[in-house]
Amino acid sequence: MLHKLNRFLNGETYFASVARFVLSFGSLLIIWQILTATVVTNRLLLVPPFEVFRAFMDEIASGEMWNNAQATVFAVGTSFPVAVLVGVLMGVVLASSRAISLMGGPMLSALNSVPIIALAPLFIAWLGLGFASKFVLVLLVAVFPVVVTTEAGLRAADKNLIETARSFNATRLQIFTTVTFPYALPFIVSGVRVAWARALVGIVVAEFFGSFAGFGFAVMAASQTFDTATLLAYVIVLGGMGLIGSVIFQSLEERLAPWRKA
């Protein structure tokens, strides 16, 4: 029986995926409930799952959830595609020339090491409260993983395939579009998945400091009033956004690079 269950959960079917999600989420809820009943009894620190669900429904009924979702989704939905596009273009440029990579690589590494989040108040002072500061902050935190994985993927392309294409008199553009870029696609999508998680962190931090709406603003407001249930409700929504994005990008990778699953 256990062997059959294990084989089913290891499967690639839709029902197996749903079962894995239900089991993991259900286990989390059970552990959460046990913790609030036995270990963490202070409601300022942790509340039971039902109270979080009730706070979530209250936010929906009041319209606050919708207003905050509009602000966050619009900001991250606008800035994240730009970050991906800029990251891919920069990765292509770095991979196309060793000299450019040697000159620009250290600078990009230094910029990536700078805690951009800590500079959020400075960006808000420059660009003011609202969309512009959130756009720039998300762009800066999300672009670097795409740059790194794009360059790595292009440089890791199979040299034998490239030489074979050259033997058929393929141009540099033809080699790029038919060999190196398709080979790099799984790397790029992996970078996009990392960038999506960083973009959510960036948008929340930007809304902490410079916004009057959004999930980050709601989390900050709830923390200031010690409303732990509402705070956790928004945190779970953000986690759901991260999970949905990860699933979408994984599905995209399987469509664009089906040989990776073969």
Round to whole Å and give the CA distance between 258 and 261.
6
Task: Let me know if residue 246 belongs to a domain.
Answer: yes
Task: Let me know if residue 29 belongs to a domain.
Answer: no
CATH number for 110: 1.10.3720.10
Task: Let me know if residue 41 belongs to a domain.
Answer: no
- What are the C-alpha distances in Å from 108 to residues 61, 138, 143, 197, 203? 45, 16, 10, 20, 21
**Nearest CA-CA partner of 72 in 198, 224, 206, 251:** 206
Task: Let me know if residue 147 belongs to a domain.
Answer: yes
The answer to whether residues 154 and 90 touch, using CB atoms and an 8 Å cutoff, is no
Task: Let me know if residue 57 belongs to a domain.
Answer: no
Q: Which domain holds residue 146?
A: 63-260
Structural domain tally of the chain? 1
Task: Let me know if residue 53 belongs to a domain.
Answer: no
Q: What is the pLDDT of residues 68-98, one digit of tens each?
A: 899 899 989 999 999 999 999 988 888 887 7
Q: What is the pLDDT of residues 229-251, one digit of tens each?
A: 899 999 999 988 888 888 888 88
Confidence of residue 158 (pLDDT cuts 50, 70, 90): confident
Query: At residue 163, does pLDDT exceed 70?
Result: yes
Confidence of residue 13 (pLDDT cuts 50, 70, 90): low
Q: What is the pTM of this model?
A: 0.82
